[in-house]
Amino acid sequence: MDSRFAIKDRKALLRPGVYVGLAVIVALLPLLFSSPYVLHILILTFIYTIAAVSFRTIVISGQFPLAHAAFMGLGAYLSAMGAKWLGMSPWLTVPLSALVTASIGMLIGYPFSRLRALYYAMGSLFFGIGIIQVIYAGGSWTGGYSGLTGIPALLPGIGSKVPYYYFFLGLALVSIVALYRIEFSRIGTNLKAISQSHVVASSVGISEGGYRILAVGVGCFFVGLAGAGYAHYNMVLSCSSFNFMATLWLVMYVLIGGVNSFGGPIVGTIILIIIPEYFRDLKMYSPFVTAVILGIVVYLMPQGLVGLPRLVRSKLTERRKIKKVSHAS
Amino acid sequence: MLLEINGLTKYFGGLAAVRDFNMHIDDGELLGLIGPNGAGKTTIFNLITSIYKPTRGKIIFDGNDITGKKSHEIARLGIGRTFQLNPLFSDFTVLQNVSTSFHLHPKSSLLDIYFNTAKYRRNEAYILEQSREILKMVGLDKVENELAKNLPHGYQKMLGIARALAVKPKLLILDEPIAGMNPSEIDFTLDATKKMQQQKITILLVEHNMKILDLCERVVVIDFGQKIAEGLPKDVRENKDVIRAYFGGERVA
């Protein structure tokens, strides 16, 4: 492999193998758990994994968007309304609304590409709140405060969740592979270069604005896709699923899983969606517990949960070396 | 004439950092720009590379008016630069720093990159080879897999030059390339500069150190944002205005 990522070659070869193995295991899960409730949680995990991974694509370009769940809602409502009011097939409205979400994201990304750090975060936060307010104000078109009901289903056969399970597993895999290829190509390198120093990046000819807008477009496309798919699975939409709090949960998935590695958001989403389900009776404490977990992760695992195996390995070799040294002396 | 600056003026609030500054650089020339601290040298660099937009004046590069263009467009036209405080892609390896800087030569389209076409792979292989060549030239080939932030200061400065060379510049702008270097690193940089000179790369450099200025074919001296002298290094050193600017008042020897 003659790429300039030569140093990472071994890892790059290993990773897809591990992922394929995991995907096979996940594909067999419905044989073990037939309860609709378990399948529902797993489907949500797939949907939010797409959202979290696409969130991180924007983050690696040095932008910290706090409107990501709002864009998910935008994709969901656009697709739902297209199918419900215009009578279009969900198979058409899902990709279309993802495209529209991406376009709106890029349109907003243009003026926002001048903002940095806290200013970008706050700007996007308020824009996201604005999107949700507009949906609330949509009256009977969007269902307003009471929510949108009667959204056409994506797959035939109401009742079984198994088809949806495979649909969203496939959607998540395709999205993850698509975003992985962006990150580990020159495009991803340019995004990371801009985030490290936009002055240096533009001094070697990388257009800061162009790449920042591109990252937002890609991130919004996939989160719009996830939201649109969700709309036709759930068949009922409520604005509160996409509010500020939902964005903050996405941020938590990414931070706890590990913002510095591609797998971080995936691990974070799986753990933060599935584990709290076991303690559902304690749900009101979950923000508090999550905050504590974040603290622990940052203290003990600077790379996030995804860095845990590597951390354990390096601690073990360290210990072995210390033993050797003490034996020798 | 490769670069021509006419009546360049930059105000920061009420303060004129650069005032009615004129300068030109010929093809293949090594031009030094000197002046006391705060004279406006770095401001001129940042105006040429459009980190700042000028209040007035014109900058013509290679026949194009580049006044107020975006930084990445200026790189595209063929101006490479280093920075005084030397920011790098600090979480990238040395090799990645240079290969990333090969953004323009050769340029792959987004679609080629995304679909990993034969053209993109060919480009990347070529870039890798070229990056290693540049690293060899500046003597960093042995540390190509180190993270840039872990390098000693002198190496980081050389990496800055390597990165600027990856732009394949017609004009290379070096902002205090040997400041903070130890003597052996200075010698090394001087050698590298001579090599670039032989390769007919036009270089504009800011420096206080006379060792490197003696390589220059011409030196422009500025003070308070205005040109006060111009000429051969040895002539400039004896110029009265220059001595006054550096030592404050006339020196009676």
The string of pLDDT tens digits covering residues A271-328 is 999 888 888 787 788 888 888 888 888 888 888 888 888 888 888 888 888 877 777 6
**Domain membership flag for residue A76:** yes
Tokens of A194: 């801009």
Q: Determine the pLDDT at residue A26.
A: 84
Q: How far is A89 from chain B (nearest CA, A)?
A: 29
What mean pLDDT comes out for the span B102-130?
A: 88
Percent of chain B surpassing pLDDT 70: 98
Which residue, among B72, B83, B113, B174, would best test binding to A if mutated, counting the most A CBs under 10 Å from its CB?
A: B72
Q: Where are the domains of chain B?
A: 3-78+169-247, 90-156
Query: What band does B189 get if pLDDT is binned at 50, 70 and 90?
Result: confident
Residue B218 has pLDDT above 60, yes or no: yes
pLDDT digits (tens, 9 = 90+) for A41-67: 999 999 999 999 999 999 999 999 999
**Domain membership flag for residue A317:** no
Residue B253 has pLDDT above 80, yes or no: no
Residues of chain B contacting A208 with CB distance shorter than 8 Å = 72
Q: Determine the pLDDT at residue B34.
A: 86
Q: Determine the pLDDT at residue A277.
A: 83
* For A260, nearest residue in chain B (alpha carbons): B91
Q: Is B84 on the interface with A (CB under 8 A)?
A: no
What mean pLDDT comes out for the span A93-120?
A: 93
C-beta of residue B94 within 8 angstroms of C-beta of residue B159: yes
Query: What band does A116 get if pLDDT is binned at 50, 70 and 90?
Result: confident
Q: Determine the pLDDT at residue B11.
A: 92
Q: Is A114 on the interface with B (CB under 8 A)?
A: no
**Domain membership flag for residue A195:** yes
CA dist A325 to A313, A317, A321, Å?
18, 12, 6
Q: Determine the pLDDT at residue A192.
A: 95
Residue A251 has pLDDT above 90, yes or no: yes
The DSSP call for residue B199 is T
What is the maximal distance between C-alpha atoms in chain A?
80
Q: What is the CATH number of the domain that holds A96?
A: 1.10.3470
What is the maximal distance between C-alpha atoms in chain B?
71
Residue with tokens 């995907």: A23
Tokens of A204: 């070697």
Q: Is the peptide bond before A163 cis (omega within 30 degrees of 0)?
A: no
CATH superfamily of B3-78+169-247: P-loop containing nucleotide triphosphate hydrolases (3.40.50.300)
**Domain membership flag for residue A193:** yes
Q: Sign of the CA dihedral A225, A229, A234, A236?
A: positive
Residue A167 has pLDDT above 90, yes or no: yes
Query: What band does A119 get if pLDDT is binned at 50, 70 and 90?
Result: very high
Query: What band does A8 get if pLDDT is binned at 50, 70 and 90?
Result: very low
What mean pLDDT comes out for the span A194-222?
A: 94
Partner residue opposite A204 with nearest CB, options B70, B75, B95: B75
Interface of B with A in 104-143 (CB under 8 A): 104, 108, 110, 113-114, 116, 120-121, 124-125, 127-128, 131
C-beta of residue A76 within 8 angstroms of C-beta of residue A237: yes
Q: Determine the pLDDT at residue A114.
A: 85
Query: What band does A95 get if pLDDT is binned at 50, 70 and 90?
Result: very high
Q: Which domain holds residue A134?
A: 33-284
Tokens of B157: 């400065």
What mean pLDDT comes out for the span A198-204?
A: 91
**Domain membership flag for residue A306:** no
Query: What band does A329 get if pLDDT is binned at 50, 70 and 90?
Result: low
Partner residue opposite A204 with nearest CB, options B108, B145, B167: B167
The residue type found at A61 is S
SS3 of residue A54 by DSSP: helix
**Domain membership flag for residue A114:** yes
Residue A19 has pLDDT above 80, yes or no: no
The residue type found at B25 is I
* For A185, nearest residue in chain B (alpha carbons): B113
**Dist. CA A183–CA A61, nearest whole Å:** 10
pLDDT digits (tens, 9 = 90+) for B2-46: 999 999 999 998 888 999 999 999 998 999 998 888 888 889 999
Residue A126 has pLDDT above 50, yes or no: yes
Domain tally, chain A? 1
How high is the mean pLDDT of chain A?
A: 88
Taking an 8 Å cut-off on Cβ atoms, the answer to whether B75 and A189 are in contact is no
Q: How far is A144 from chain B (nearest CA, A)?
A: 40
B174, β-bridge pairs = B205
pLDDT digits (tens, 9 = 90+) for A214-240: 999 999 999 999 999 999 999 999 999
Percent of chain B surpassing pLDDT 90: 39
**Domain membership flag for residue A253:** yes
Q: Determine the pLDDT at residue A7.
A: 41
**Domain membership flag for residue A307:** no
Tokens of B43: 């401001």
Question: Taking each helix axis from N to C terminus, what angle separates A244-257 and A117-136, rounded to the nearest 10 degrees?
Answer: 140
pTM for the model: 0.88
How high is the mean pLDDT of chain B?
A: 87
